[in-house]
Amino acid sequence: MTLTAELVLDARDETGEGPVWDRGAQCLWWTDIPGKRLHRLDPSSGAHKTYDMPGRVGCFALREAGGLVLAMEQGFATFDPANGKIEILSEPEAGLADHRFNDGRCDPAGRFLAGSMNMARSSVSGQLWRMTRDKEVTRIAGDVTIANGLAFSPDGKLMYWADSPAEKVYLFDYDLDTGTPSNRRVFLEKGPAPGRPDGAAVDADGCYWSARWLGGAVVRFTPAGAIDRMIKLPVSRVTMCAFGGPDLRTLYITTAREGMTPEELAAEPLAGGLFVAEPGVQGLPEPSFKG
């Protein structure tokens, strides 16, 4: 089944990423990483606000205590949108050349996980870090170039994690009691899906929705790894997706325009926009950080 997506907001993000649906406020948050800003959109009213940030926010999650927890540049921080206050909590990758945080989210138990990337693509030095509610930060996986596609099965017992340049998505067993992944194996490799794996989401059926960088699509993979649904976009740099709306049956999709030539931008004028599709399935509520 092939579906299409429509533009919601011509955000013109350099690299829009990390959409998160706020169920309480019924609004969508996302980040423009190189643009150093966060977006907040209320789809019902169309109200849109941006927050300028002092560094690149790779990913973030809502906090149960209010505000957001961020993986920003080389460390973790909290952000209060009401007053703009940012508090640095930990900098596990401080001093690592050509490194910054990229994709991440909370696990179903409310821990915040964020992966890093080697911006020079010079080595497989990207890591996956876990922060507990007590702000304890631990490395739990590694050996990727660009960490991406982090997602969890509906029961929380499986963890997906991608390496975009390697064009692979890995699958782990996940211990929800300890927040520990194990038994790493390949779930997806380069194949019939267009482009490379970027950010992702899992739906209530346990299927993995992979945004396809340079592929112009979001592809739904069954737990067995088969393609059974695809959403086409009018732009090639598709970065991540998130389920939202009152019933979590709307898929929001971020895109990018970073690195495009004037000719490419002329051919894809909506690059960097926020798109929406109705995929015909329901998503999972996004966990909040318990710290």
The set of catalytic residues is 198
Main-chain phi, psi angles of 77, to 5 degrees: -155, 165
Separation between Cα atoms, residue 101 and residue 35, nearest integer Å? 15
The token pair at 77 is: 């921080």
Q: Where are the alpha helices (DSSP H) in 180-277?
A: 262-267
Between CA 37 and CA 45, with CA 43 as vertex, the angle to 5 degrees is 105
Report strand pairing: 68-72 vs 75-80: antiparallel
How many residues in total does the chain contain?
291
Pairwise CA distance, residues 84 & 32, whole Å: 17
**196-202 and 217-221 as β-strands: parallel, antiparallel, unpaired?**
unpaired
Q: In the structure encoding, which two tokens stand for residue 57, read together?
A: 């926010």
Residue 198 DSSP one-character state = E
Q: How far is CA 114 from CA 141, 155, 200, 223, in A?
A: 10, 20, 14, 23
Residues 6 or more apart whose Cβ sits within 8 Å of residue 161:
115, 128, 141, 144, 147, 148, 149, 150, 169, 170, 172, 181
Q: For residue 68, what are the contacts with CB-CB under 8 A and spacing of at least 6?
A: 29, 38, 60, 61, 62, 78, 79, 81
